[in-house]
Structure 1
């Protein structure tokens, strides 16, 4: 994923929704576009056997219309990923397990940088994730409530 700082003509007046708002994520159309974001080298995640656990520093969790929850992440390598549905969360050790069997460990608070947040949402739109609600702040609050 790369950004080049180019503005899209005619979109400068659109306002960005507040991060963490419970509004439907497809309010992304209301985001002010400050950069062009390119997605390159599209490919599936490696098999779970090759990558059973992933540490997350740039992430958000969205709840889809069918009540499934998915993690949107950008890995340190620059790879944007949308997980299979979350089947379990352990707030004490800050992990989620997805239907693929992969374990995701939350190493940092949800992504708040506007450019990175937009990239996560735009990647979800790009691959056809339907309307969804960002529940990341609620999940992070759950994790924090289990700290010692």
Structure 2
């Protein structure tokens, strides 16, 4: 019997492709995310979305160029805006998936600054 048959979580990264152009998807509400600082000092979001039990989408953003702390919104160099609806992903498995996805997509060795960045944002 395999691990998948026993119900243990497993991850397969496949079907790498770019996100739709920002003109088609200019604003994203984000509910599962971590903010990472690359070794070059740039900030990026890595998001986990469209999770339906069998699969989900990991997206690594282009570099963040501005953060609106009051609105909890980041804008990336592509021009796309991400609204951080909830605090950074707290789940251990989900965090590991986000970090692994970021490493696979080029942010190996990055530093997670999610909790610090969320702490700087407004608290209603």
Q: Same fold (TM over 0.5)?
A: yes
Q: CA RMSD in A?
A: 1.9
**What is the aligned partner in structure 2 of residue 133 from structure 1?**
111
| Separation in structure 2 between the aligned mates of residue 59 and residue 110 of structure 1, nearest angstrom | 5
1:45 to 5, 8, 19: 19
**What is the aligned partner in structure 2 of residue 64 from structure 1?**
38
Q: Which runs of 5+ in 2 are unaligned?
A: none
1:5/1:35 contact within 8 Å kept? no
Equivalent pairs, count: 117
| 1:92–1:63 distance in 2 versus 1, CA, 3 Å | same
**What is the aligned partner in structure 2 of residue 73 from structure 1?**
47
| Separation in structure 2 between the aligned mates of residue 59 and residue 101 of structure 1, nearest angstrom | 18
- Matching of residues 1-148 of structure 1 within 5 Å: 4=4, 35-77=9-51, 78-143=56-121, 146-148=122-124
Runs (4+) off by over 6 Å: none
| 1:92–1:42 distance in 2 versus 1, CA, 3 Å | same
C-alpha displacement at 1:5, in angstroms? Answer: 7.5
1:5/1:36 contact within 8 Å kept? no
| 1:5–1:90 distance in 2 versus 1, CA, 3 Å | farther
| Separation in structure 2 between the aligned mates of residue 63 and residue 72 of structure 1, nearest angstrom | 11
1:4/1:37 contact within 8 Å kept? no
C-alpha displacement at 1:107, in angstroms? Answer: 0.3
Task: Give deviations 1:12-59, integer Å, cap 9, x for gaps.
Answer: xxxxxxxxxxxxxxxxxxxxxx74311232210000000000011000
**SS of alignment partner, residue 147 of structure 1:** coil
**SS of alignment partner, residue 38 of structure 1:** coil
